[in-house]
Amino acid sequence: MAIHRLDPATHADDANAFFEAAGLGRPVRPNEPNAQLQTLAYQVDGEGGILGAAYAMSPSQAAESLYFGGMTREDAFSIATRIVGIEAVYVHRDLRGREFGKDLIDAVEEQARVGGIEYLIAHVEADAPRLHEFYRSLGFVVKAIGDPLTVEGTPLPFTEDYLDAVKVLVGSPTVAVR
């Protein structure tokens, strides 16, 4: 089985179909120019399909969350350009445990660093301890239940179904995320 990374720019529809088949909806919005998509594919005897995909939301989506949390629109948009929220990561169940998820997150992180992003933030299901450990193994801090993530003192919208995992990408961030 040959495995390679697909060009995300030309595979947004494939990624959406993959996410939808996994029950995750259609998170990839190709009209969001700053959103980040990474896809991995497998190929067996010339037949291929996606084995994993990760999608990180654009600054406009992060700004909506900050604005909804009570921040002014101007501040929300200014800060959102320095944060990437990981919206969806999924690896085909038959291919888990082979570090494809790590490769996907690493690719999103690399793209974020090049873009001057200060933080990666992922919403993680509260009842998924293996997923919590996965993010910890990649250098994320996983917040406790009931401890909402704050950006510049503004709590992000929070539900008890999710925890926030945060990774700082720069030595001296200009935004305070806790």
- Asked, for residue 41, whether it belongs to a domain, the answer is no
In tens, the pLDDT along 124-172 reads 889 999 999 999 999 999 998 888 889 999 887 766 788 899 999 999 9
Measured distance CA(8)–CA(174) in Å, rounded: 29
- Asked, for residue 127, whether it belongs to a domain, the answer is yes
Find the CATH number of the domain harbouring 77.
3.40.630.30
- Asked, for residue 14, whether it belongs to a domain, the answer is no
What is the model's pLDDT at position 9? 74
The token pair at 143 is 């917040």
- Asked, for residue 105, whether it belongs to a domain, the answer is yes
Expressed as residue numbers, the domain containing 108 is: 54-168
- Asked, for residue 42, whether it belongs to a domain, the answer is no
- How many folded domains does the chain comprise? 1
Which percentage of the chain shows pLDDT scores above 90?
Answer: 29
pTM, two decimals, is: 0.84
In tens, the pLDDT along 74-104 reads 999 899 889 988 888 889 888 888 888 998 8
Task: Classify residue 33 as exposed, middle or buried by CB count within 10 Å of its CB (0-12, 13-18, 19+).
Answer: exposed
Strands (E), 63-139: 83-91, 119-125
- Interhelix angle 129-137/100-114, rounded to 10 degrees, is 50
- Asked, for residue 17, whether it belongs to a domain, the answer is no
- Asked, for residue 173, whether it belongs to a domain, the answer is no
- Asked, for residue 29, whether it belongs to a domain, the answer is no
